[in-house]
Structure 1
Amino acid sequence: MENRTSGRADLFANDGDPAIGANRVWFNMLRIHRSTGARIARALRDIGVGDPVWYEILLELERAGPDGLLMATLERKLFTAQYALSRHAARLEEEGWIASAAAPGPGRGKVLRLTGEGKGMHSRIWEVYQAAIAEEIGTRLSVDETYALARLLIRLYD
């Protein structure tokens, strides 16, 4: 594998402007997503998962237990727009992995729950997802670097 960072370290020499630093973080996160996300998504599509967020939806519903989750709660947890989550929920329902029902009370809220077929599905998906992530990212960073980077990234949305 070619060294993808050769010649790039000098881009940061004597750079102390916080706005430039923040811009570099943002654009590099976008580039990482574009350069690795498509291959990871393809590995998941090969096993019938339409989008990587399906794993997160299924995982959160598994954690929620039999009562499920309000769609609005899931939107906040996953930082996903309502229209996008609705589309993904409809597809997961077509797969038979989740069920939706009207939330109690006024309004048009929905509660999402796992079906019998959907229980444990996140674990089956994770095997493929984890392998794809490891192939894309795990070979480029040490274990210590991955945890350090994860801690930094969490600070950006926590």
Structure 2
Amino acid sequence: METAPALAAASADHDAALCPFVVQAWARLLQVAPTLLATVEAELKQAGLPPTQWYDALAALERQPQQSLSPGEIEQQLLLTQCTTSRLIDRLVAEGYALRMVNPDDRRRQTVHLSPAGQALIARMWPVYAAAIKRHVGRKLAPDDAQVLIRILEKLA
């Protein structure tokens, strides 16, 4: 005879059955996002520009009143790992698109600031980035469809 916890576990497993449409939606999300990103990345590369991640990091800095963020804030905003964020910041600083400042009161703390070269790069990248988004997403989704997609995706966030 099964015990109550065993019956509850069996019932929970049964309740966890997935609707096939939910599984298909998950699979399409996993397929579409990387495909679109790769297409946009290829267009940026063809134009001699760095990847979208560089733009996203610099734009995140630009949106701030002081045009600066801590590495942890960049990590959170871009949903990157600490290692990836660190490498990205190193590259942006090495190329002169960002500046790393150490807090004089606590040398363990640092902030990353947008440089004038970083502002110029954003200005060069956006037209190519925007055109790629328009070409690969905007032409395929009516504004109403885009709004519905936003609402759906916000439910998943």
Match of 2:23 in 1: 23
Task: Give the conservation status (yes or no) of the 8 Å contact 2:67–2:114.
Answer: no
Q: Calculate the aligned-residue CA RMSD, in Å.
A: 2.2
Match of 1:64 in 2: 64
Match of 1:144 in 2: 144
Q: Percent identity?
A: 28
- Tell me how many residue pairs correspond in the alignment: 141
Match of 2:87 in 1: 87
Between 131-140 and 17-26, report the one with greater CA deviation.
17-26
For 2:133, the aligned partner's letter is I
For 1:73, the aligned partner's letter is E
Task: Give the conservation status (yes or no) of the 8 Å contact 1:100–1:112.
Answer: yes
SS of the residue corresponding to residue 112 of structure 1 reads strand
SS of the residue corresponding to residue 118 of structure 1 reads helix
Match of 1:126 in 2: 126
Task: Give the conservation status (yes or no) of the 8 Å contact 2:54–2:92.
Answer: yes
Task: Give the conservation status (yes or no) of the 8 Å contact 2:36–2:136.
Answer: yes
Query: Is it true that 1:37 corresponds to 2:37 in the alignment?
Result: yes
- Cα gap change, 1:140 to 1:64, in 2 (>3 Å): same
- CA offset at residue 105 of structure 1? 5.3
- CA offset at residue 103 of structure 1? 4.0
Task: Give the conservation status (yes or no) of the 8 Å contact 2:93–2:99.
Answer: yes
**Larger Cα Rg: Structure 1 or Structure 2?**
2
- CA offset at residue 113 of structure 1? 0.3
* Deviations 1:69-104, CA, capped at 9 Å, x for gaps: 111112112211111111111111122110112345
Task: Give the conservation status (yes or no) of the 8 Å contact 1:62–1:120.
Answer: no
Task: Give the conservation status (yes or no) of the 8 Å contact 1:101–1:111.
Answer: yes
Query: Is it true that 1:114 corresponds to 2:109 in the alignment?
Result: no
The 1-side partners of 2:33 and 2:79 are apart by 16
For 1:71, the aligned partner's letter is P
User: Structure 2: which 5+ residue stretches go unaligned?
Assistant: 1-16
The 1-side partners of 2:99 and 2:44 are apart by 22
TM-score under structure 2 length normalisation: 0.77
* Deviations 1:98-147, CA, capped at 9 Å, x for gaps: 01123455574431101121125323311111111111112222111012
- CA offset at residue 40 of structure 1? 0.5
The 2-side partners of 1:39 and 1:54 are apart by 16
TM-score under structure 1 length normalisation: 0.76
SS of the residue corresponding to residue 58 of structure 2 reads helix
SS of the residue corresponding to residue 119 of structure 2 reads coil
User: Structure 1: which 5+ residue stretches go unaligned?
Assistant: 1-16
